[in-house]
Amino acid sequence: LILSSRGVTSRYRHLMLDIGTLIPHSKKDSKLDTKNPRDAVVEVADMKSCSSAMFFECRKRTDCYMWLAKVPEGPSVKFHVENVHTMAELKLTGNHLKFSRPALHFDASFDDTQTSPHLTHIKEMLTHVFTTPYKHHKMKPFLDHVFAFYWEDNRVWFRNYQISYPEGKEARGVGATLVETGPRLCLHPIKIFAGAFGGPTLYDDPTYVSPNVVRREEKKKDQGKYQRKVEKKAERKAHARMNALKPDELDGWLKD
């Protein structure tokens, strides 16, 4: 199930459409306009007979959070969506068959259970959401693209590549190549919950900084800039007052 809250911007709406075209077993629903949309997602997923849900929660028309949850019992992961580039925006040369079965590729960091055990849980959630069920009625029986997930800078980087097979004389020396199709997005994991859209916290990222805090710090810098400008102007006036020219004896002699 793929759906969003009210107030979603055009960029994230197009991202939802791109993800819907990449996942043949996805189902859509209208935007949720309730005070508690997370509980409503579980009800909608139950009516649609969906076992997983992808919910885009937009705040202040600038920040977007993606929820991946197994419904109705959980678990769930909350991501902050960053660096979004849709297919229409990128205009890449890759072009694979719509609704074909994808192959999933994960970085070796996702299997490191000693230093980052939470990555195995994130890998399992991404596998459940993006893997097409075997012999699904909407699936095309072809394997011509790859979903790649990389772990870098405490974030999950998503890329979609077409598997291109060269023809003619090029096929002798060159094998199959990967051509990027899009979209591109970056997911910063914030928290992992034991339940669906809530419950006990299993993991909390200590390096995550809220976008509100970032904007507040930027405003503080601008306020300091204006304050320095006012102080400099006051210093200039005080300097001019202290070093004022004394009246000259010849001032006004023409008037006399």
Over residues 160-180, the pLDDT tens digits come to 999 998 877 766 667 788 999
- What is the average pLDDT across 75-99? 92
- What is the average pLDDT across 110-122? 91
Instruction: Judge contact between 52 and 60, C-beta under 8 A.
Output: no
Which residue type, as a one-letter code, is found at position 185?
L
What are the φ/ψ torsions at residue 187 (nearest 5 degrees)?
A: -115, 120
- Of 137, 133, 79, 77, residue with least CA distance to 102: 133
- Of 145, 170, 167, residue with least CA distance to 158: 145
State pLDDT tens for residues 35-59. Answer: 777 788 999 999 999 999 999 999 8
pLDDT of residue 102: 93
DSSP 193-251: EEETTEEEEEEE-TT---HHHHHHHHHHHHHHHHHHHHHHHHHHHHHHHHTPPPPPTTT
Portion of the chain with pLDDT greater than 90, in percent: 62
Structure tokens at 1: 């199930």
CA distance 50 to 47: 8
- Of 103, 70, 77, residue with least CA distance to 1: 70
Structure tokens at 206: 């200590």
pLDDT band at 237 (very low <50, low <70, confident <90, very high): very high
Instruction: Judge contact between 192 and 208, C-beta under 8 A.
Output: no
pLDDT of residue 171: 66
Instruction: Please tell me the number of Cα atoms within 13 Å of 35 on its side-chain side.
Output: 0
What are the φ/ψ torsions at residue 74 (nearest 5 degrees)?
A: 100, -175
